[in-house]
Amino acid sequence: MEYLSGPVPFRLTNDYFFRALTQTKENALKGLISATMHMPRGDIKTVTIMNPIELGSNIADKEFILDVKVCMNNNVTIDMEMQVLNYNDWPDRSIQYIGRNFDTLEHGDEYTESPEIVHIGILDFELFPNRSRLLDCYMIMHTELGYAYNDKLKIYIMTLPKRDEAGEDDIKYHTDLWASFFKAQTWEEVQMLANKDSDIKEAAETAAVMWRYDPVKERIQARADYEARQRRIEYQLKQGAEERKRRAEAEKEAAEERKLRVEAQNSAAEQKKRADEESKRADEESKRADEESKRADEEAKRAADAEAEVAELKRLLSEYRK
């Protein structure tokens, strides 16, 4: 592939390419398993694809088997999947895969004969934003003390966007190189990575060969078109959700504004009511004051009249005595 240059004509995260690579190139598959499990390459003796597809055959989008099922060393079942789009269901999805593969005992089998099941997800998004690392491993653990309840079930997540944040073990097992390979956009990048890892070199050569093999090339392109459609749908759904969110926020603001106006109107009405009541009380007080004043005037007049009568009586009495 040394003669190739320029952009890689398809995304190396293409799930059909991933399918074709893992089931046709044993060394590349072993290297990828080593990188995604932080497992010494020499410990991987055998790998067998348990659900192969016929490369180049026409498979409908909905019928396409996404996961690659591998038997490693005749005693470990590995379920691998490349996932580019985030449907917000990966934890449930991975647990479904593990549960399905773990439930294989026949009547009479010992529980201790349960197989070791590994699920490997290669994701082009952060499953847990701000917490995901380049490679994370999950098991059934004691929630406080941290020891394993059972080590036969493991979930590995390779987060491609974290390829530049590799840790010591990521570098040791070439996890960072494989992540960079899947995200490479030019043949020059692919060649540089191939020079550093022989298993990636096999994967790179496979990519170059498959793009020249028309039946597989057509299937790769078909999956790329499907992915593009899904991206458009996801974008449209996101835009629609954002528009609905904006409308909801606008309606919420309008409702809040209406509420504030109603509260202001109610407050003004309450203030007017209190002012009217105060005015009414003032009028009543004024009326009572007027009535009291009138009564006082009447009392004063009666007193004056009485004094006048007394004075008249005194005058008459005085004249009588004369």
Q: What secondary structure letter does DSSP report for 278?
A: H
Question: What's the pLDDT score for residue 228?
Answer: 76
The overall average pLDDT reported for the chain is 89
What stretches of the chain adopt beta strand conformation (E)?
47-49, 68-72, 76-83, 116-123, 135-141, 148-159
pLDDT confidence band for 57 (50 / 70 / 90): low
CB 90 within 8 A of CB 66: no
How far apart are the C-alpha atoms of 167 and 136, rounded to whole Å?
A: 11
Centroid of chain to Cα 97: 21
| pLDDT tens profile 87-120 | 899 999 999 999 999 988 888 889 988 889 999 9
Among 39-53, 209-223, 245-259, the range scoring the smallest mean pLDDT is 209-223
How far apart are the C-alpha atoms of 193 and 170, rounded to whole Å?
A: 15
| pLDDT tens profile 230-269 | 778 877 888 888 888 889 998 999 999 999 999 999 999 9
Residue 109 φ then ψ, to 5°: -70, 150
How far apart are the C-alpha atoms of 88 and 118, rounded to whole Å?
A: 21
Q: At 220, list the tokens.
A: 């790769």
pLDDT confidence band for 310 (50 / 70 / 90): confident
Question: What's the pLDDT score for residue 30?
Answer: 98
Other Cβ atoms closer than 10 A to 7: 11
Question: What's the pLDDT score for residue 305?
Answer: 87
Per-residue pLDDT at 298 exceeds 70: yes
As a whole number, mean pLDDT of residues 124-141 equals: 96
Per-residue pLDDT at 278 exceeds 80: yes
How far apart are the C-alpha atoms of 164 and 90, rounded to whole Å?
A: 23
Question: What's the pLDDT score for residue 59?
Answer: 57
Question: What's the pLDDT score for residue 58?
Answer: 60
pTM over 0.85: no
Q: CA neighbours within 13 Å on the CB side: how many for 247?
A: 6
As a whole number, mean pLDDT of residues 180-189 equals: 96
Q: What angle (nearest 5°) sits at the alpha carbon of residue 48, between those of residues 70 and 156?
A: 25
Per-residue pLDDT at 223 exceeds 80: no
Question: What's the pLDDT score for residue 67?
Answer: 86
Per-residue pLDDT at 2 exceeds 50: yes
Among 15-29, 60-74, 159-173, 302-316, the range scoring the smallest mean pLDDT is 60-74
Question: What's the pLDDT score for residue 63?
Answer: 46
As a whole number, mean pLDDT of residues 139-164 equals: 95
As a whole number, mean pLDDT of residues 153-166 equals: 97
Selected residue with higher pLDDT from 313 and 181: 181
Per-residue pLDDT at 202 exceeds 90: yes
Owner of token pair 């010591």: 168
Reduce the DSSP state of residue 186 to 3 states and report it: strand
Q: Judging by DSSP bridges, how do beta strands 76-83 and 68-72 pair with one another?
A: antiparallel
Task: Give, for 175, the enclosing helix (H) or strand (E).
Answer: helix 175-183
Question: What's the pLDDT score for residue 203?
Answer: 95
pLDDT confidence band for 227 (50 / 70 / 90): confident
Domain boundaries, the chain: 15-212
CA distances from 140 to 89, 149, 152, 322 (A): 19, 6, 9, 135
Helices (H) and strands (E) in the chain, counts: 8, 6
